[in-house]
Structure 1
Amino acid sequence: MAHLKYENDTWVTDNAGGSHSLGAELELTYFLTDSIELTAAFGIIEAEYDDYDDGSVVWDGESIQNTPSYSARIGAAYFHPNGFYARGDIRSQGEVPYYDDVDAEFREIDDYITADIKVGYRFKGYDIYAYCNNLTDEEYMTYFISGSNKSLATYGDPRTFGIGVRYSF
């Protein structure tokens, strides 16, 4: 398992001597009627270092960085025979572990929940739609890595509106 760390003013990749992961994922789709679709997905993972000493920290038994503890999604969609459709999804991601080099301790990025919606109309190969991702404008971090004097963080997109046109042939 590769590990990214900050060393001598440079980000370097280091390999663990050993690690393991165990997980499961389940995805379900149920058609309540010809026009209504319900979906759900859930994944859980446990990923740990078995043998890793980077010279300053012993990682043995710690969770592998940037591996979420779980991911989940539930959704519903409506498809009208004339081409109109609407879809809504709620997504969640569990805590994500990382090592805070400044405070020399293991920490976690908080879990988060977002909601997305999309409405559209399909006809003759065209799909015209409008959407809103992160409907509640949830502020959340998706990635974090800490170094002795530098850190990198990635944040999720804020509420985003858009329209689109697709053509399939």
Structure 2
Amino acid sequence: NRAQTASVFGQIIYPITSKFDATLGGRYQQIRKHTKVDYFSYELGHNPGAPAFSMDEKATFRTFLPKIALGYDITDELNIYAMYSKGYLAGGFNFYTTGGSREDNKFDAQTSDDYEIGVKGSYESFRFSTALFYMDIKGTHIFYTDPNNPNIYSTANADKSKSMGVEFEGVAKASKELDINLAASLLKTKYGDYINKDGTNNKGNKIEKNPEYKLSLGASYYAPMGIYTRLDGNMIGKTYFDAQNKLAQKSYFTADAKVGYLKDGFDVYFYVKNLTDKEYFSHIRDRASNVLITYGKGRTLGVGVRYSF
């Protein structure tokens, strides 16, 4: 597989009044993809001969992605905004294929109309932002196991789907040395008409690989002599791994820690990820005869050095 991307983009912000402004932006992009596959099936030790299936295909995906936003300063510390933008994921060809026509092995682009309203502000030592968003998705990229060959895992397009939610981020300076940060999100997704390759209808099911919620809370302490510590806790909500919503990872918690020394641009630190060595699934795939499970990373320790100038 090979892909080449070229794009041009720009944005202008026009102050309508001293408190009210409009943003207009756009991005034009072109993505060229080339996939070449030769599939052989032969007994070990024999001459492979001619490929059982070959595919040498190219496709070009072009799109213009507009962005329109309005912002209003309620006060010097508080701003509200509304935004519309276009989302895009290029299509392509499935690499692991064993037959069928060109169209059987190709999937189209995914597009979306994205709407967002939000508030950004600060109050004394507290800074925050929160947003509501809605995505109307067309040509949704879906991943499926071929019912005729469970070894084949392919990409295709469903019809429509929707995604909506709310996000919040905040940072509070509890003291000169202590910072506390919080981030939270709630997400609701839903397929429209989507008939799976085995004939089942997934309409109304949740889109796979999208946690129902995320919550993170962290604290950082910076001592005057340059020593610092950081502790983060992360809660990940229930996540489905198939469009039928049969395979899922229930909600789980992980924690990360970091201790370091920062002085005059020099930073040396020791870190631990997944402090409690929590066991969780990062991917689940149903292959009809069996289920393949990939576990997330366990406890990981490391040392880093960084210099900034």
Match of 1:2 in 2: 141
Could you list the runs of 4 or more consecutive aligned residues of structure 1 that deviate by over 6 angstroms after TM superposition?
none
Partner of 1:99, secondary structure, is coil
Q: Aligned pair 1:117/2:288, yes or no?
A: no
Query: Which ranges of structure 2 fall in alignment gaps of 5 or more residues?
Result: 1-139
Q: Aligned pair 1:88/2:88, yes or no?
A: no
Counting only pairs closer than 5 Å after superposition, residues 1-169 of structure 1 correspond to structure 2 as 1-7=140-146, 8=149, 9-56=151-198, 57-99=200-242, 106-149=246-289, 151-169=291-309
Structure 1's 105 and 35: CA in aligned 2 closer, same or farther, altered over 3 A? closer
Q: Distance in 1 between matches of 2:184 and 2:195?
A: 33
**Identical columns (%):** 34
Q: RMSD value over aligned CA atoms? A: 1.7
Q: Distance in 2 between matches of 1:25 and 1:155?
A: 27
Q: Distance in 1 between matches of 2:221 and 2:307?
A: 21
Query: Which ranges of structure 1 fall in alignment gaps of 5 or more residues?
Result: none
Bigger relative CO (Cα 8 Å, ≥ 6 apart): 1
The Cα of 1:151 is off from its aligned counterpart by: 4.2
Partner of 1:51, secondary structure, is coil
> For residue 210 of structure 2, what is the amino acid of its counterpart?
T
Normalised by the size of structure 1, how large is the TM-score? 0.91
Partner of 1:106, secondary structure, is coil
Q: Distance in 2 between matches of 1:12 and 1:151?
A: 16
Normalised by the size of structure 2, how large is the TM-score? 0.51
Residues 67-101 of structure 1: CA deviation (Å, up to 9, x unaligned): 1101110011101122110000000100111339x
Q: Distance in 1 between matches of 2:196 and 2:279?
A: 32
Q: Distance in 2 between matches of 1:2 and 1:149?
A: 25
The Cα of 1:161 is off from its aligned counterpart by: 1.2
Q: Distance in 1 between matches of 2:197 and 2:283?
A: 24
Partner of 1:82, secondary structure, is coil
- Higher Cα Rg: structure 1 or 2? 2
Q: Distance in 2 between matches of 1:94 and 1:107?
A: 14
Contact kept? 2:247, 2:284, Cα under 8 Å: no
> For residue 50 of structure 1, what is the amino acid of its counterpart?
G
Aligned length: 166
